Structure 1
């Protein structure tokens, strides 16, 4: 029973890393993003292949350039084997950019992450990540139009790290 419980705890810790990845990007939390990887982790997004140490400034720069961003991880499958684990999950992400008229265009990406994780000194982090893009779609960002029509929603403008609404977990 103790082995089964430890396996469940390890699996949950791996899932937490995978979900924290997107959350720290959304809030521009570079330190939190770095906590998802071992420094020697190998990262392959196609346009970038290298170590996590080199990846983090690249991905944070991309996210900082987007006025709005949003990441969601789902369909997580984790197989734990001692202090190593493999994982596959789906990822949806959206990033916005300004169009020629100054409005926002949103691009939604759908893909999957093929990951390896390692537990070192009691902590799980990514040791290898490969991203596979499956599709993307661009469309006008409708939030501003909704606000202009009188349908008011809480909309955050996260343009730099340390937003007052962010609560690191």
Structure 2
């Protein structure tokens, strides 16, 4: 593997991590930064269309979730010049606010990337949903989580106080 391919792969892996952080922190500026302006996102039946519409739909799509955690697992990339394809396996945890449920979704991001003006970004993203698990949040689990210390949250997450080099939007 040559140095340019290694650099591209590292950039694409960083892109995947920034996407997960943006979704979980509800950081729309950071989310926008992982897509090209003319990108398309096919998020199953939840959303299909341009990136501006996807970002505008985010508050409604994520509004019922108190906490989310998107984890990117296996990543396979095919890179040719300034274009790349990727299949990224993910697990996305969601804890609902109102009905107190744990929802865990397993699936894959099928991505087309392009390097424009020196930056790799998503040009087209399609989701494949492979499995979902759902269960009630038990009261004792919530108490235990509170007892452990800082809990995950969206815009006011503890990470913004601890990681000064990773501010909102960055």
TM-score range, shorter chain: 0.7 to 0.9
Q: Is structure 2 residue 35 aligned with structure 1 residue 37?
A: yes
1:111 aligned partner: 107
The answer to whether the 8 A contact 2:150-2:158 is kept is: no
1:139 aligned partner: 135
The answer to whether the 8 A contact 2:108-2:127 is kept is: yes
**Within 2, Cα distance between the matches of 1:129 and 1:73?**
14
**Within 2, Cα distance between the matches of 1:106 and 1:147?**
11
Greater Cα shift, 88-97 or 144-153? 144-153
1:86 aligned partner: 85
Return closer, same or farther for 1:152/1:164 CA change in 2, 3 Å cut-off. closer
5+ unaligned residues in a row in structure 2: which ranges? none
Counterpart secondary structure, 1:125: strand
5+ unaligned residues in a row in structure 1: which ranges? none
The answer to whether the 8 A contact 1:147-1:153 is kept is: no
The answer to whether the 8 A contact 1:29-1:162 is kept is: no
Q: Is structure 2 residue 68 aligned with structure 1 residue 73?
A: no
Counterpart secondary structure, 1:16: helix
The answer to whether the 8 A contact 1:15-1:78 is kept is: no
1:96 aligned partner: 95
TM-aligned CA deviation for residue 18 of structure 1: 1.4
TM, length-normalised to structure 2: 0.85
TM-aligned CA deviation for residue 164 of structure 1: 4.8
Q: Is structure 2 residue 159 aligned with structure 1 residue 165?
A: yes
Counterpart secondary structure, 1:67: strand
**Within 2, Cα distance between the matches of 1:87 and 1:122?**
19
Counterpart secondary structure, 2:2: helix
Counterpart secondary structure, 1:55: helix
2:123 aligned partner: 127
- 1:109-142 CA distance string (max 9 Å, x none): 0001100011111111100000000110111235
